Amino acid sequence: MGKQLHENICEERLFSSIFNKHSKDLHNFLYYKFGELLNPKDKVQEAFVKLWENCSKVSPDKAKSFVFTTANNLMLNETAHQKVVLRHQQTKPKMYTNESPEFLMQESEYHDKLQKALANLTEAQRVAFMMNRVEGKRFKEIAALLDISTKAVEKRIYGALEKLRKDIKEL
């Protein structure tokens, strides 16, 4: 830890290792939070470029929260910008296309319902829930990622599950 104090993100090696460590999580976070239409990949890039520009001011252990906050703000700027054109609910996670030809009608209906139900979750719920269910992350990991307590993560995920099931039944 003591050694870290003297390290500088401006060094390309360290910068790359930080990128490798956090960029995927950041990308998934943005994707589940804001959907695909706002180009989460671009935002990840922008956030890391900003990290590079501020590399002398940000210490390595603050780098993660720096890129998360930056990317989140970039997204929020854009959603505010695009609000008129496109409502947030429409930017929900898009269905992944790996359909085999024999997709059943029923399944496709179920997907539609699920899609709508996911869109209805709060951002916080959706991020935690999808990271847990789809990315297979454990509560503890998510808690570390979002800088919240494990208990809060559990609450969000369980709440999301209940809400999803309720919505699907109602639809």
Give the interface with other proteins as residue ranges (CB under 8 A).
12, 16, 19-20, 23-24, 27-28, 31-32, 36, 41, 44-45, 48-49, 52-53, 93-96, 98, 107, 110-111, 114-115, 118, 130, 132-136, 138-139, 154, 157-158, 161, 164-165, 168
When the beta carbons of 5 and 96 are compared against other proteins, the nearer one is 96
Task: Compute the distance between CA of residue 122 and CA of residue 131 in angstroms, rounded to an integer.
Answer: 14
Name the minimum Å distance from CB 1 to other proteins: 25
> Which residue number, 48 or 68, has a Cβ lying nearer to other proteins?
48
Nearest one of 31, 130, 30, 16 to 63, comparing CA atoms: 16
Q: Give min distance, CB of 161 to other proteins, in A.
A: 7
Dist. CA 133–CA 110, nearest whole Å: 17
Residue 78 Cβ vs other proteins, minimum distance, rounded to whole Å? 18
Query: Phi and psi at residue 136, in whole multiples of 5°?
Result: 65, 30
Q: Which lies closer to other proteins via its Cβ, residue 52 or residue 91? A: 52
Give the distance, in angstroms, between the CA of residue 87 and the centroid of all CA atoms in the same chain: 18
Give the count of beta carbons closer than 10 Å to the beta carbon of residue 124.
16
Nearer to other proteins, 7 or 53 (CB): 53
Residue closer to other proteins (CB basis): 83 or 95: 95
Count of C-beta atoms within a 10 Å radius of residue 3: 6
CB burial of residue 101 (10 Å; 0-12, 13-18, 19+): exposed
Taking the complex as a whole, the smallest distance from the CB of residue 16 to other proteins amounts, in Å, to 6
Q: How far is the CB of 54 from other proteins (least distance, A)?
A: 12
